[in-house]
Amino acid sequence: MPSNNDEYKQAYLRERAARIQAEQLIEDKSRVLYALNEELVKKVADFEHQQQLFIQAEKMATLGTLSAGIAHEINNPLAYAMSNLECLQSTRLTVDKLLLLNERFTSGKLSAAQLKDTLLQLQKAQSFTAMSNEIQELVEDSREGLRRINTIVRNLLNFARPKDNEKQLANMTDAVKNAIKLLSNQLSNCEVNCHYQALPMAWCNLAAINQVMVNLLINAKHACDELSDTQAKITVTVAFTEQQICITVSDNGCGMSEHVKAHIFDPFFTTKPVGTGTGMGMTLVYAMVHDHQGTIEIDSQQGRGTQIHCFFPILRHE
């Protein structure tokens, strides 16, 4: 018969073996969990990297879409600034003659009577008053054209500058206005109405908000393509309610079916003809709004139009 001691020993050994086995199991599981976690961290990092690459690629694609319109916008003022300079060049001939007369008269090579005579002849060929007015007009027009080019370039830099990829305390309305200015040419065949409510400063990436707006506005414009110039209406509203900034882009265009609404944020989802849309615009809008901890709501009715609301909480700092 086994003694009590032996039974205790057996029980102790069994309990110890079970404990070692359990510990081993926990250790194995922990090792597996640790490896899985490592893999997950790596996958998340990979995913974030891919997302950055994608955002950059999409930004370049948006720039591509914009550049045709921008080239056109720059081309007009540039063309008239250049033609004004050519006109100025031709009036320079008369100015040169006047300078020469002045030089000859002051150095005594020309009498007062001769000077008067020559001046009258020149006046006959070209009225000095008209010439002076023309020069003023040409210079003013050219300055206006160059100012316009300067604004376009500044808007474009605001859109593309890498430093703007950082968040800062800013007024989101600036980005909204910038996008509308940037697209003024493309949106010229729609009636665009804007309503801006005063916004508090918020921690945001102005370049990203700008890009969100560019994508929403281009989509709204495309949705109105079938409408006539007098019918197409796009409304942009910037409001501050219940501690949230709400930016809404509405259009009275074609609207969306339930299927389009369900897939609008899917990468590469587009209803546009091959080679027209990349289907990445709204995916990017989603990523950027979420990067600001915001949300998007879509109201759309086929044949009636669409309202896209982006809600942003007020972030005070990173």
Ligand X SMILES: Nc1ncnc2c1ncn2[C@@H]1O[C@H](COP(=O)(O)OP(=O)(O)OP(=O)(O)O)[C@@H](O)[C@H]1O
Residues that bind Mg ion (CB under 5 A): 219, 281
Q: Does 306 bind ligand X (CB under 6 A)?
A: yes
Q: Considering only residues 183, 220, 236, 238, which one is a binding residue for ligand X as defined by CB under 6 A?
A: 220
Binding mask 198-217 for ligand X (x = CB under 6 A): -----------------x--
Nearer to ligand X, 286 or 311 (CB): 286
Nearer to Mg ion, 110 or 310 (CB): 310
Query: In the chain, what is the greatest distance between 2 CA atoms, to the nearest angstrom?
Result: 153
Would you call 197 helix, strand, or coil by DSSP? coil
User: How many Å apart are CA 53 and CA 63, to the nearest integer?
Assistant: 15
Q: Considering only residues 69, 145, 253, 294, which one is a binding residue for ligand X as defined by CB under 6 A?
A: 253
Nearer to Mg ion, 203 or 269 (CB): 269
Nearer to ligand X, 240 or 269 (CB): 269
The answer to whether the CB of 100 falls within 8 A of the CB of 118 is no
Q: Rounded to 5 degrees, what are φ and ψ at 14?
A: -60, -45
Residue 208 contact among Mg ion, ligand X, none, beta carbon within 5 to 8 Å by kind: none
Q: Considering only residues 190, 204, 207, 223, which one is a binding residue for ligand X as defined by CB under 6 A?
A: 223
Q: Rounded to 5 degrees, what are φ and ψ at 19?
A: -65, -45
**For residue 7, what is the enclosing H or E element?**
helix 4-106
Residue 278 contact among ligand X, Mg ion, none, beta carbon within 5 to 8 Å by kind: ligand X
State which of positions 254-283 bind ligand X (CB under 6 A): 254-256, 260, 264, 269-272, 277-283
Would you call 250 helix, strand, or coil by DSSP? strand
Q: List Cβ neighbours of 248 (8 Å cut-off, separation of 6 or more).
A: 235, 236, 237, 239, 307, 308, 309, 310
Residue 306 contact among Mg ion, ligand X, none, beta carbon within 5 to 8 Å by kind: ligand X
Closest listed residue to residue 288, CA positions, set 125, 56, 63: 56
Residue 279 contact among Mg ion, ligand X, none, beta carbon within 5 to 8 Å by kind: ligand X
Q: Nearest 5 degrees, angle CA 268-CA 218-CA 72?
A: 120
At its nearest, how many Å lie between ligand X and the CB of residue 229?
18
Q: Considering only residues 155, 219, 248, 252, which one is a binding residue for ligand X as defined by CB under 6 A?
A: 219
The answer to whether the CB of 295 falls within 8 A of the CB of 311 is yes
Measured CA distances, 242 to 174, 239, 245 (Å): 21, 10, 8
Nearer to Mg ion, 173 or 211 (CB): 211
Residues of this chain that interact with ligand X (CB under 6 A) are: 215, 219-220, 223, 251, 253-256, 260, 264, 269-272, 277-283, 306
